[in-house]
């Protein structure tokens, strides 16, 4: 699995235009759109905004926090953290189109001065040592085989005592996964690992894990609600993760739900801290 293949997987081609068109259908423009308006497409992880609120709410973010979003995608997490907690947020992502689109969206909602988005690798962070007060990653590790490498890089750029949160899809059972899924078309580009693998990598990078929570039941409830809303709606909403995943969206989501249902994978939260 190469970083270029991961970036290619997520590249849309005309993403900003698609988002602008979706906003027009909602009666919004770049001058009137809000962070909440963008939520349906910004929250590219299981549980959407509700998951972000629960997960990031455990990190103790404030207006004095400079936080690093590892694998920031369109910058949805950065905009949520900046708007909800007043934090200064730096994001990094492999996909150039996501970064460029994210910068435009930050400007649209008036957060361009509090958020800085960079194109680059989580395995070679372009930041100096001990510069951040906190960090998190949401649904990123499934595309990174070298968990030890990314966690070591995060530890390097965090200040002593800083918190690091992980919300990833993890392997919770034995058996072959059904593909495609949102993060990969094939098994070759999937790096799903067990919670034990994450713990080992985090502790090897010097982190102390303070909390862990399997969110399988929450995920199944979330997808059941999505399915119920879709059944009542006349077509997909103007904005949503279907815009990001394209024509294969239904198959990817179906497979992911099936994999979770039979106990092969689940979204898991881990909260860790760099020693003082």
Report the CATH number that the domain containing residue 106 is assigned in CATH: 3.40.50.150
4 sits in which H/E element: helix 3-10
Token digits for 36? 């909440």
Determine the Cα–Cα distance for residues 193 and 168; give it in Å rounded to an integer: 9
Q: What angle do CA 107, 183, 123 make, to 5 degrees?
A: 70
Q: Measure the CA–CA gap between 235 and 216, rounded to whole angstroms.
A: 27
pLDDT at 247 over 80: no
Q: What is the pLDDT of residue 6?
A: 87
d(CA 2, CA 189): 8
Beta bridge partner(s), residue 260:
none
pLDDT tens digit string along 38-91? 988 888 899 999 999 999 999 999 999 999 999 999 999 999 999 999 999 999
Number of domains, the chain: 1
Buried-state track 5-29, b at ≥16 Cβ within 10 A, e below 16? ebbebbebeebbebbbebbeeeebe
Which pLDDT does position 173 carry in this prediction? 97
The whole domain housing 131 covers 3-273
Rounded CA separation 159/273 (Å): 10
- Give me the phi and psi of 239, to 5 degrees please: -125, 140
| pLDDT range class, residue 3, cuts 50, 70, 90 | confident
The answer to whether 124 and 92 have CB atoms below 8 angstroms apart is: no
Q: Is the pLDDT score of 230 beyond 80?
A: no
- Residue with the two structure tokens 């004095």: 64
* pLDDT, position 15: 92
């Amino acid at each position: 699995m190469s970083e270029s293949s991961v970036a290619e997987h997520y590249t849309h081609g005309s993403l900003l235009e698609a988002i602008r068109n979706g906003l027009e259908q909602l009666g919004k423009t770049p001058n009137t759109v809000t962070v909440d308006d963008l939520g349906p497409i910004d929250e590219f992880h299981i549980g959407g905004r509700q998951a972000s609120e629960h997960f990031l709410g455990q990190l103790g973010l404030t207006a004095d926090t400079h936080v690093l979003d590892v694998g920031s995608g369109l910058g949805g997490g950065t905009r949520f953290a900046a708007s909800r907690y007043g934090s200064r947020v730096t994001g990094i992502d492999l996909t150039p189109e996501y970064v460029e689109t994210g910068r435009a969206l930050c400007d649209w909602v008036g957060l361009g001065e509090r958020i800085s988005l960079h194109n680059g690798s989580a395995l070679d962070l372009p930041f100096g040592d001990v510069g951040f007060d906190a960090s998190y990653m949401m649904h990123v590790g499934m595309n990174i085989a070298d968990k030890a490498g990314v966690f070591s890089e995060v530890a390097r750029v965090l200040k002593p005592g800083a918190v690091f949160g992980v919300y990833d899809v993890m392997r919770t059972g034995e058996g072959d996964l059904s593909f495609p899924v949102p993060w990969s078309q094939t098994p070759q580009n999937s790096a799903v690992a067990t919670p034990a693998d994450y713990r080992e990598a985090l502790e090897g990078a010097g982190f102390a894990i303070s909390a862990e929570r399997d969110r399988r039941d929450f995920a199944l409830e979330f997808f059941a609600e999505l399915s119920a809303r879709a059944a009542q709606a006349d077509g997909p909403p103007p904005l949503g993760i279907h815009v990001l995943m394209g024509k294969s969206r239904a198959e990817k989501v179906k497979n992911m739900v099936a994999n979770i249902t039979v106990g092969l994978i689940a979204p898991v939260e881990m909260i860790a801290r760099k020693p003082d």
